[in-house]
Amino acid sequence: MGRVILLALALVLAAPHMARAELLEVRPVQLTDWKAVFGRVEARDRLPARARLGGTLTELAVKEGDLVEAGAVLARITDQKLEFQLSAIDAQKDSLAAQLANAEAELKRGEDLLARGVTTVQRMDALRTQVDVIKGQIAAVEAERRVVEQQAAEGAVLAPAAGRVLEVPVAAGAVVMPGEVVVTLGGGGIFLRLAVPERHAATLAEGDAIRIEGPAGPQEGRLERIYPMIENGRVVADVAVPGLPEDFVDARVLVRLPIASRSALVVPETALIRRSGLDFVAVAEGDALTLRAVVPGSREVIDGVAVVEILSGLIPGDRVETDGAGHD
């Protein structure tokens, strides 16, 4: 008789809890399997600023990490031979200017003599031709000087685009040759470049959501481009990530790629009850709740709700209590 009274008392005490319990019918859902790989932060455009003139690097205006605008002077190269050429051209121009002054004076005297009938027309034509020849020589010398001035101006190494200075492989005072890289710039934004094993190539598609464990916490990106060329057994792909930090280029970032989809049973993480090292969920059987041992698997977030996969212990159609805290 005492046992009957105790059982009735237990049912009375459990009845309010069963009335409050929220039950969820377990149904299969599609889960995505993720593969962890490392991506490398890269600049979309890696542009070398090259020397257009051979000579000595007399000025270096930037260092690694600086932000520069397009057309900014990054360094300056000096070739002393150009200064000597300019001096020689100036001396040649002064000589021609003196010859022109003398030829023009001869022409003026010839015109006076022709007016008095002392000289001939042929002589005047020869004097005019001499003046024109010297003027042409002066024009050629001036053009040659502009060429040398342009060569000297090309000693300024200009930024081909706006961006961040990634590398400066030379130092002030070094001798550089035409075409040698003086500064390497990164511009056009930042993206992630992945090298994925080729066995997963068929599972990748442009536009896929990519999970990223960045320095600022979890982020999500989109698979932007998959390159058709396989290099060393790996497929190269680019991932666009909004707000990816640009402080460090070539930094490695953990990336999770979707490689497969499968059907699984999941319950809210709050439904799990842990006792003596085992996991249980409260399953409705008729009007009562029964604790059933389960084997949990991976944890996911679906529509903002933390869920856990149940590997065994439940079947589709089971109704489980979503809040197992009352059983702890």
pLDDT digits (tens, 9 = 90+) for 145-193: 999 999 899 999 999 999 889 899 999 999 999 999 999 998 877 888 8
CB burial string 233-271: b at 16+ within 10 A, e below: eebbbbbbbeebeeeebebebebbbbbeeeebbbbbbbb
- DSSP states of 96-160: HHHHHHHHHHHHHHHHHHHHTT-S-HHHHHHHHHHHHHHHHHHHHHHHHHHHHHHHHHTTEEEPS
Give 301's strand partners.
306
Task: Give yes or no for residue 72 having a pLDDT over 60.
Answer: yes
> pLDDT tens digits, residue range 118-135?
778 888 888 899 999 999
CB–CB of 65/164 below 8 Å? yes
The rounded distance, in Å, linking the Cα atoms of 218 and 244 is 11
User: Percent of the chain scored above 90 by pLDDT?
Assistant: 27
User: Percent of the chain scored above 70 by pLDDT?
Assistant: 91
Average pLDDT estimate for 284-308: 86
Rg, Å, the chain Cα set: 42
pTM for the structure as a whole: 0.59
> pLDDT tens digits, residue range 7-29?
232 333 343 444 445 888 888 88
pLDDT top residue among 260 and 83: 83
Average pLDDT estimate for 298-304: 82
Predicted local distance difference test score (pLDDT) of residue 218: 79
Task: Give yes or no for residue 6 having a pLDDT over 50.
Answer: no
Average pLDDT estimate for 188-213: 82
Predicted local distance difference test score (pLDDT) of residue 326: 61
Predicted local distance difference test score (pLDDT) of residue 21: 57
The rounded distance, in Å, linking the Cα atoms of 236 and 99 is 70
Do the strands 209-214 and 217-231 form a parallel or antiparallel pair, or are they unpaired? antiparallel
Task: Give yes or no for residue 206 having a pLDDT over 50.
Answer: yes
The rounded distance, in Å, linking the Cα atoms of 157 and 168 is 12
Highest mean pLDDT among 232-236, 249-253, 321-325: 232-236
Average pLDDT estimate for 81-86: 90
